[in-house]
Structure 1
Amino acid sequence: MNYRELSRKELVREYTKQWNRYLKYEEQDLSLDLSRGKPGKEQLALSMKMMDTLTSRSVLDSENGMDCRNYGGLDGIPEAKSLLGEMLGVHPENVLVCGNSSLTVMFDILSHAMLDGLLGSKPWSRVENRKFLCPVPGYDRHFAMTEHFGFTLIPVAMKEDGPDMDQVRRLVEADPTVKGIWCVPKYQNPTGVVFSKQVIQEFADLRPAAGDFRIFWDNAYCVHGLYPDDDAPLPDLLHACTLAGHPDMVYEFCSTSKMAFPGAGISAVAASPANLIDLRKVWAFATIGPDKLNQLRQVRYFKSMAGVKAHMARHASLMRPKFEKVIRVLEEELAGSGVAQWTTPRGGYFLSFDTMPGCAARVVELCARAGVKFTPAGSTWPYGHDPQDTNIRIAPSYAPISEVETATRLLAVCTKLAALEKLAAQYCVTVPSLAGAQTA
Structure 2
Amino acid sequence: MGLHQRTETSGLVSFIICAMAGASVMELCVSLLPAAWMISRRQFVIASIIIAACGTISFIFGYARRSSSLSTHNRLIEILRRLVEILALATVYASTLFLTSFALLSMAGNLMGTMFLEYIVAVCAGFSGVAGYITFVQAELMDAKTLAALLPLFVVAGVSVAGLTTDDPNWYTNNFSQLGDRTTFAARMFNSTLILAGICIIIVSYFAISELVTSYRQRREWHQEQGPLRSSRIKHYKARLICLSIMLAFSGIAFIGIGTFRYTPHPILHNVFARGIVCVMGLLLLTLPWLAPQLSLAIYAAGYLAIAVCGVVLIQWLDGINTLTNVEALAGLVFLGWFIMFSRQIAAIEADRIAEQVLHIDQEEASADANTVTATANIAGTIPSSVDKNHRMHSRIAATQ
Q: Which has the higher strand share?
A: 1
Bigger Rg, structure 1 or 2: 2
Name which structure has the greater RCO, CA cutoff 8 Å, separation 6+. 1
Which bracket does the TM-score occupy, shorter chain normalised? under 0.3
Q: Which has the higher helix share?
A: 2
TM-score, normalising length: structure 2: 0.24
